[in-house]
């Protein structure tokens, strides 16, 4: 009998835990401008490298370089900067409102503002996003009224969702934003279905699916890839890799090798990895994928490499599982500061104008907040009616729910 060694289970661990020195040496950063831009009808097998590199446009000096640069005008970039600043200011005010007890829960985007903000600009009116809870940038960048978002967050009398949904689980068909579920990954395959419907109806609209690194482990992620590749659905499959799924580092979903983008390759889906903190790169890659979808060339998988600077939600404390200074060590920097720097290098922006814009945006957010609070907050002022509990479960209220509503006194 030969001695066979005992087996042992491998449980991945992040490079560092609280108390340690942040270490991102495992995140291989490609040089800005170094990754080629293939034609949108390139065969997936010819562009496999794009799933392992990182497409970047902005270099360290704030210049836009390489084949993915040059798509956005000064005006469009200034609008993009304002969107990201607005989202950041909105988050800060709503976090504070949550701490003041004006709502139960909030989720911020700090560090990830470029992803949804830039992506939205690559879509057209009528296209549909199937977002997770961290894509409010899609709404802000599409000029959805902040006051409506706040009404929803406060679950007040003007809440468009009548107090039924957890804060930030917005819905707006008019703004191409599918109702957020709150459970994970279900929306990913729904987006594929929406895109299939667009093709079945011979429409021109495309869909975008959103998921986080952690939730790519869900079955529905894989279901979505199966359906998207089988039917060549006009859908952009977005993975926002912000390194952390609450307290779980991305290695638990991914294992030690490969990338999230590379998940697409086995399905024959072109897969690209992009610097998620680079507004220009995000836009350029999203535009490439949108064109592919619109030209009926099928789905594209995009991994946005970014970092969740804040806590997962107001119910989370990241200092319990990662070094406090980790976000400062993140090698891809801050998306707002990087675009700001680029606009200054372009000669269309300045520190003074930036400071002034910050003040204007804060004022705009505060005005919206005042208006929203005039309709109430979670525990004070105007509330949705108890009747609203019973309405809208079905198109027509069935007898048993009517009896229950009457029992509740309404």
Question: How many other CB atoms are there within 10 angstroms of residue 1's CB atom?
Answer: 3
Among 3, 9, 399, 407, binds another protein (CB under 8 A): 399
Between CA 206 and CA 184 the distance in angstroms is: 22
Between CA 261 and CA 274 the distance in angstroms is: 9
Between CA 48 and CA 265 the distance in angstroms is: 7
Q: Give 312: exposed, middle or buried? Use CB within 10 Å, 0-12, 13-18, 19+.
A: buried
CB 110 within 8 A of CB 87: no
Task: Point out which span in 19-27, 238-246, 339-347, 387-395 binds another protein (CB under 8 A).
Answer: 387-395
Which residue, 47 or 166, is less far from another protein as judged by CB? Answer: 166
Among 136, 199, 240, 253, binds another protein (CB under 8 A): 199
Between CA 192 and CA 207 the distance in angstroms is: 7
Q: Interface with another protein includes 210 (CB under 8 A)?
A: no
Between CA 228 and CA 236 the distance in angstroms is: 9
Between CA 334 and CA 309 the distance in angstroms is: 9
Q: Interface with another protein includes 392 (CB under 8 A)?
A: yes
Q: Which residues pair with 249 in a beta bridge?
A: 244
Q: Interface with another protein includes 386 (CB under 8 A)?
A: no
Q: Interface with another protein includes 197 (CB under 8 A)?
A: yes
Rg value, the chain, Cα: 22
Q: Interface with another protein includes 201 (CB under 8 A)?
A: yes
Task: Point out which span in 41-49, 97-105, 283-291, 393-401 binds another protein (CB under 8 A).
Answer: 393-401
Between CA 358 and CA 116 the distance in angstroms is: 20
Q: Interface with another protein includes 359 (CB under 8 A)?
A: no
Which residue, 165 or 300, is less far from another protein as judged by CB? Answer: 165
Among 34, 79, 104, 186, binds another protein (CB under 8 A): 186
Restricted to residues 126-155, the positions that interact with another protein (CB under 8 A) are 128, 130
Task: Point out which span in 133-141, 330-338, 356-364, 398-406 binds another protein (CB under 8 A).
Answer: 398-406
Q: Residues for the chain: how many in total?
A: 410
Residues in contact with another protein by CB under 8 A are 128, 130, 160-162, 164-165, 169, 171-173, 178-179, 181, 183, 186, 188-201, 203, 205, 207, 219-220, 223-224, 226-227, 230, 392-395, 398-401
């Amino acid at each position: 009998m030969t001695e066979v060694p005992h087996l042992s289970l491998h449980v991945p661990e992040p490079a560092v835990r609280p108390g340690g020195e942040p270490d991102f040496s495992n995140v291989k950063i490609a040089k800005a401008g170094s990754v080629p831009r293939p034609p949108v009808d390139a065969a997936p097998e010819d562009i496999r490298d794009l799933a392992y590199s990182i497409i970047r446009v902005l270099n360290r000096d704030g210049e836009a370089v390489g084949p993915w640069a040059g798509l956005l005008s000064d005006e469009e970039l200034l609008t993009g900067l304002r969107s990201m600043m607005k989202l950041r200011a909105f988050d800060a005010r709503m976090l504070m409102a949550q701490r003041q007890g004006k709502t139960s829960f909030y989720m911020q985007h700090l560090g990830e503002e470029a992803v949804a903000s830039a992506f939205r600009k690559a879509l057209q009116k009528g296209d549909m996003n199937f977002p997770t809870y961290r894509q409010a940038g899609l709404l802000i960048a599409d000029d959805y009224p902040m006051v409506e978002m706040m009404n929803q967050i406060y679950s007040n009398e003007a809440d468009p969702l009548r107090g039924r949904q957890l804060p930030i689980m917005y819905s707006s068909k008019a703004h191409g934003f599918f109702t957020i579920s709150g459970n994970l990954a279900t929306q990913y395959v729904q987006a594929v279905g929406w895109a299939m419907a667009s093709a079945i109806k011979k429409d021109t609209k495309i869909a975008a699916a959103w998921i986080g690194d952690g939730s790519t482990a869900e079955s529905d992620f894989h279901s979505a890839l199966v359906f998207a590749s089988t039917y060549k659905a006009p859908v952009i499959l977005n993975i926002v890799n912000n390194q952390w799924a609450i307290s779980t580092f991305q290695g638990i979903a991914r294992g030690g090798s490969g990338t999230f983008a590379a998940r697409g390759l086995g399905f024959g889906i072109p897969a690209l990895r992009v610097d998620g903190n680079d507004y220009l790169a995000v836009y350029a890659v999203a535009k490439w994928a949108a064109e592919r979808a619109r030209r009926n060339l099928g789905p594209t998988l995009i991994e946005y490499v970014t970092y969740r600077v804040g806590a997962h939600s107001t119910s989370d404390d990241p200092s319990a599982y990662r070094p406090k200074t980790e976000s400062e060590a993140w090698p891809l920097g801050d998306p707002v500061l990087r675009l700001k720097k680029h606009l200054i290098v372009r000669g269309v922006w300045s520190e003074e104008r930036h400071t002034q814009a910050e003040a204007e945006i804060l004022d705009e957010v505060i005005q919206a907040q005042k208006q929203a609070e005039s309709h109430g907050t979670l525990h004070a002022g105007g509330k949705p009616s108890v009747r609203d509990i019973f309405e809208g479960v079905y198109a027509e209220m069935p007898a048993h729910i009517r009896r229950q509503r009457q029992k509740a006194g309404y």
